[in-house]
Structure 1
Amino acid sequence: MLLIACGTSGGAGSGQLAGGATVPAEVTFDADVAITGAELTVTWRVVNRSSKELVAPTLVTHQGKVPKGDAYVVPAGDNIEIAQRLFDWPDEVEELAVPPSVGVLRVRPGTTESRTIRVPRPLTGYHPFGDAFDDGPPKLPSDPVGVVFCLGVVPQPYPPALALGKADGVEIALHGRVPYAQQHRFCTDPVAFR
């Protein structure tokens, strides 16, 4: 399944367009989404034929934090979004000592990177800002029309607010308004989900 630009949801499934960074034309993405009774599997691939490096969020253990899965699982209108991307700072989250961080994968010029992620069923919501929402994290639709997979990439030059760094050998970045706005998000077409 070919990834296409997606504008179905913003930071918390608000229906806003994703960040506006332009990705070089020489960067291609594709993904396959498979749904079985036990899990949802996404295999994605990034081919970077451009002269710019990219970073893509990948949920890995870092700084003593263990993700609740291989991807974020958030509402996207009538769909559910399986996401490996950066999120905007939600309006509903006012106080948080430190923005949430996420592991990142560097996609260097002239390279191809691919990953397979698995999300167990039934799908459970997972948002990087988690319990910081005043009314709890966004709820998934009870009867979703479909599932969409979204991958975010940030091309060079990287904004300082991305705060790229290393912790225990893992490269990390921060979620937030500036990193969210500097990413380009690609999404699959919705896949029927029952």
Structure 2
Amino acid sequence: MKLHLFKHFNNLDITATSLLTLLAIYNNQVTIFYILYLFWWNEVIYTAVTFYYKKRSGFVIGLGSKLFLLGIYWFFIVLFFGFIAPHQNYNLVALNFEVIFFKNLFFNLNLLFFGGELIWLYYNNPDLIEKSTIHPFSARAVILHISIILGAIMMMMVVPSFSNFFTPDNNWSSIVIILPFILLRYFFQRSSLL
């Protein structure tokens, strides 16, 4: 495997995700749901692209457990973080609807960039296809697991305790909410676990 190409992918991915997310924060377009749904879609895109390239290269792999877990996560993320947790703030629910229906420019750019970047990585490094995994508890899935737990803690304990600070108008509160997720992903990517 060309390690420099893989590190370049990780650096480019975290930089693009961070910049697009900061732009979204600046434009008041980010919620906890946004970042969790982004991580979920990154896992779906990674699974689909990796499966396609593995299948094309003749590898036999199963997706059943991975798709089952992603389905459960989708239901939980959309239901709890998209609708139930922010139910008293219609502006947040409206933002979440925009994300779900791909009406959020920054979210869409994040997804397009990640998918294009992953295709470019596999196209330029076919050896990586064999080493890539699609199991339910990969490093990417662990980020999703931890992010869901962290998001639930923040939504249930942190945000209500500091309701004067965590307002939709306060961009700094969005940064405080999103920063742990971005740092978690950064840690995994810098450790080359992704």
Shorter-chain TM-score: what band?
under 0.3
Structure with a larger share of its residues in strand: 1
Higher relative contact order (CA 8 A, sep 6+): 2
Give the TM-score of the pair, scaled to structure 2: 0.27
Taking structure 1 as the reference length, what is the TM-score of the superposition?
0.27
Larger gyration radius, structure 1 or structure 2: 2
